[in-house]
Structure 1
Amino acid sequence: MNESTVKRVAFVGNYVPRQCGIATFTTDVCEAVAAAFPETSCMALPVNDTEAGYAYPPRVRFELSEKDVASYRRAADFLNINNVDVVCMQHEYGIYGGPAGSHILALLRELRMPIVTTLHTVLQEPLPEQRRVLEEVAALSDRLVVMSRRGVGFLTDIYGVPPEKIDFIHHGVPDVPFVDPSYHKDLFGVEGKMVLLSFGLLSANKGIETVIAALPAIIARHPEVVYMIVGATHPHVLQHEGESYRLSLQRLAQKLGVAGNVIFHNSFVTLEQLIEFISAADLYITPYLNAAQITSGTLAYTVGAGKAVVSTPYWYAEELLADGRGVLFPFGDSAALAKQVLELLDEGAHRHAMRKRAYLFGREMIWPAVAQRYMESFGRARTECRHSAPPGYAVKPLDQRSTDLPPLKLDHLHRMTDDTGMIQHAKFAVPNYHEGYSIDDNARALVASVLLSELETGNGPSLEPASRYLAFVHYAFNPETGRFRKFMDYRRNWLDSRGSDDSHGRTLWALGTVLGRFAIPSLRGIAGQLFEQALPAIPDTTSPRGWAFALLGIHEYLRRFEGDRLVNRIRDELAERLVELYRACRSEDWCWYEDRLTYCNAVLPHAMLMCGQWIPDGEMCEIGLESLHWLAAVQHSDGPDVHFSPIGSNGFYVRGGERARFDQQPVEAHVMASACLEAYRCTGDPCWMTEARRTFEWFLGRNDLNLPLYDPITGGCRDGLHPDRPNENQGAESTLAFIQTLLELRLAENTIPNGTAP
């Protein structure tokens, strides 16, 4: 196996527009790999240090919350089901939550693909917690990348990492031309000046005061010198200390009489702007105060651009500036710094020779070369991968149920299922092969299988029959249209190239349910592929019910992967569409989204309730509850014995007209009961549990004809209620409507307090 097999890479770290060096590096390495290997799909999973997050680019697929360890586990689930070939994790103690950044371990422990970790800090004298975290990171990673030779030595000598597990890869740098500094000086109004430069996020450990203290001696001989300090104050420093450090530097410059020679650019500059600043510099200075720095992006950038560099002897500078690529001066020694700067300013030939040596060395560090090295490391990691699937999840026993709900009987469900999937229709209780199969019924059956798995006993859910229904869904997907085909005849011939908008939304509901709730990783893997491929088509559909079913699936998916930005964005768009429909249509006597009630009506308020809770959005919750209240009242019978009486399919209910009483469909009872259970979870109001139970009793005979739809002998459900009798055929949709409603009530008993309320 080599790097050509790496088709999907996820980069975990910080990401622009967050302002920090790790964010810049993660973005650069991700984009470099994507550019060098266009056949490889690259995604990013950044860590947010604020609740609001950042306006990330589309490359970002999932966001982690720094201090929420559960978000790290959800990110692991997201990566596992998205068939990622390699995870490239950026390790720096300060960007992850927990003691010494230990929250990242919760993610790494759950991953089932190879991990390549880039270490941005390797401490020579770690605290006990720092040592523990790094040692576990090293153990969980298949490859470790360091950006200095000293880092390799520290890993082997201090942390006991085998040298064959370590890859030395330079810090990447932009590929810029070797130009004369004067070419860019006019951009900053420093024509004719000798420019000294330091850049990076400002904080007290950067040692900028050492350079300002050296300026009087430098300017005495070279009054044309200006010192440019480029970079905003570090956001965390700004939050806790404000601009006190920058202000202290300005006061020092004024005190020493060099304020006119110091230029502050107090902003976080783009890469293009940074290259211009570097190009305009004659000398670059890194006056850091601490030797324990194993890498520095700012130093790498300037060496790669062919700048003459003067630096304190921190670890990375000693290595990168060796062999005449720069000069060093002691920490905090402004006199020594002034001496080095003056020598380079006085001796132009020496300065230009240093620049050339640095530039030639930097050719090994440009991002295309670094991307190639990373892909080689990914390939080695894939070859050496040692990950295995985690154990299954515990499930609740099936026999924890109340006595007043009928027992679960799956005989007819199994009878209607063959090697292909769920057969669409039945003659009485006999499968009707003439009618073949539909995607809708297999999607419903897949949802029912997931619900059933949550109630099963033993060693966890079995692959059957869920795998059969999921296989049908997989086969139904048409990659040419990005949609699911709907109808298949019994000879397994597809009868269409794409199904309806509703069936597409319903299938997304099923896939999202598998991803959010099913415990078998192998099924979640294929469901994840289909969900990702099919979801982009739903915003182009026009059916509100299709949107609503898709929203149910999206929220099931977000149970496990709430940080997925793409899915959240589609969720928000669909939810807002439903809100706009409701605002446009609602009146005092018609609290609905359209000018008619048709089929699967309750799925619309159900979707609104879920969006209102998860986004969260108070108006959406209010819309969901108001419309569900109104629908419940419309679907109540007249007379003393109030029972569920759904809108009939023989004419439906057009605004201002008469509602159709028949034919009443079992699917209406299911979506209504499901929405009422969601309303109960949302509000805790027992009236909604009462409404859910009342709706379920429609199947058992508490309906307009006082006749049962459910057949306890076969385990099937009759296809509807005519004006004078039930429809005796027991098709897939009807049977699944009953089974799903029963399963949801069973789960409510186990998971909702007072779930057995009458």
Structure 2
Amino acid sequence: MKFACIGTYPPRECGIGSFTSDLYHSMLGDINQNENEGFIIAMKNSDEEYSYPKEVKLTIQQENRNEYIAAAKHINNSGADVCILQHEYGIFGGQSGIYILSLLHSLKIHLVVTLHTISNTPSYTEKAILKEICKMANMVVVMNLKAIDFLTDIYDVPREKIAFIEHGVPDFHFDQKKVKKEFKLEEKKILLTFGFLSRNKGIEVAIKALPKLVKKHPNIIYLVLGKIHPSVMRCSGDEYLIYLKQLVKKLKLEDHVVIPNSYIPQDDLFKYLYASDIYITPYNNEAQITSGTLSYAIGAGAAVISTPYWHATELLANGRGRLFDFHNSNQLADILIELLDNPNTLNALRKNAYEYGRNLTWPKIGAKYNLHVFNILQDEIETKGQSFDILIMPQFSLKHIHRLTDDTGIRQHAKFSIPSLQDGYCLDDNARALLMALLAYTEKNNYKALELCPIYLSYIQYMQNDDGTFRNFLGFDRSFLDEVGSEDSFGRTIWALGYLLGNPPNYSYYQSGQSIFLKAVPVFEKLKSIRSIANTIVGISYYLQRNPTDDSMTELLSRLSKKLVTSYEENSSDTWRWFEPFLTYDNAMLPLALLHSTEIHNDDKIRATAFRSMEFLISKTFTNGYLSIIGNDRWYEKDEKRATFAQQPLDVMAMILLFQQAFKLTKNEEYLNKLFKSYMWFLGENDLRISLYDSETNGCCDGLESYGVNRNQGAESTLAYVISHLTVLKAHKDFNREIFAKKRLAKKISQNVIN
């Protein structure tokens, strides 16, 4: 994908410029970085002269309408697939920035618009301009949920056009004690506000709160970092700065307030954020839909106190900060005293902010932009030869998962669709449930699934023994039913934990998962079951995707992989290319594990073993053009007849995951074809031509028997279906990305030939 970004850009000192730069680099830095390329069209004032970086290919003088037209032509001829516009009325020329419409009307490519200001009481011109921009846009990005209502109710923007993607934050980390020492402020309690200064920022409100605070905490320093906003300087000079300094002098706060009136580089800014004890945004009115400074503070894990403007009300909810009334210095002083007097309360705010801020880092925000843009471009993608149609899939639902889950974990079994309490819980299912919930959150942004994660993770934590092993079964009365669980349950748990560590939804879950995972590591090389080893390999592979420098874990992965290869070499022949002298259950996990290992090690022997065994398994399960799983009633011994029935959903899930990983490594579309055929087993493309998915309960039946379907809908079968469903959705996205990449390559080759 090639994209053009329009906005202000560094070295121009502007919040939108920083946003544009961070977004540009994060979109290039996504997992598809070898496919993505982009460039910048920078907005500037007529009196500005900057030395822009190489990605800036063109500039537009704000008040020169002809340059907007020229920029549109440049973009259209650049080979870009999409234009991403940062919209703020004040950075474009003409009344209320109307000149930008000349550029947008001339564009011949897709348009994505990020709105930095949305008024609920716009002027006639402001409303007309924004409505026209949104009409031309394929997608409108907002950073506050309230903005969605504004756009639909005031500007008549269709809801399906609007994407909610929060303001990104740089991924900096500093130690508070060290940066305080660096700034020679280690003996001080630091209050901080930063950003361009203007009357609406309410700095005077915070200053007026200090006398009451200083009486109780005389070591307070209030840092106001930033300079007078350029537009304010043009209109009224440094009048506001003079007023603030006079106020400081009047209140005898010269030893407690520092206002350097200078633009602070981003690295230093984050140092100050980490050094601060409390961050304050004392803005004077509610009409601020987005605040980059507030997002930065949350991203740094600062304890934030703010007036209740729109963005703050939303971002500081759920214990991530504190609010005080507009212009109420006395209330602000009381909150400051309360927090400084109660370090535990203060630290709780910091912790909540930091955990939430982990979801706002630019790599994650850039990935969301990329995903949304890819979805937009799919309408143009040539899908001839596409292996499957996701429109025939049932609507995604977690209804039965919620029915099976209580505050202990997910229950093992169900009588039809009703949970069977007497059968209690098991580790296998709670590990699968954790994997399912994480996938649902990753692929569907399903926050209800995310809310289930602590339940399943706490079950896993509760079942771990001191030596790193796990118990498996727990009664409904929460009594342990075994001392040490099966190796299979151990391996499945490591798989789920590894996926969590490779794809953490937040830092808290990462810490919890890491503690359990690392405690279990000494058990890895003691495993005897090759399926347990296979599941463990998958978990380690996910872990190493996020921790690639862990050399000891990389070596451990290699040793475990060689155990599977050795098992294959000892049992395989020209007619039986398999790891054992029989095909039993969860067969696809064995080649799947080696494909995951190949992704880390790129070992030719491991790779060859993976593909040979996979093709052998395909030859035994796809003989009739649809998936026919090895039955569990007597399995399939070498040189004997295979069992057809007692087919289990778990085996189907493993096949789907196998084909997904094979496609990821080879880009061979035939694997996607088999992936979807495997999924259709759930919907009736099987030996009995009957569906196992229950559209009324949103559960999955437990198996395919000779007499028909086992109508019980336990955790294992439903989790296998849901994970399979999510894997198909992910494979569909991956496939379209590959199609798009091929199209881009063909387009480049064509352009080179013409040139």
- In the superposition, the TM-score normalised over structure 1's length comes to 0.50
Query: If you compute each CA radius of gyration, which structure gives the higher value, 1 or 2?
Result: 1
- In the superposition, the TM-score normalised over structure 2's length comes to 0.50
**Relative contact order: is structure 1 or structure 2 higher (C-alpha 8 Å, sep ≥ 6)?**
1
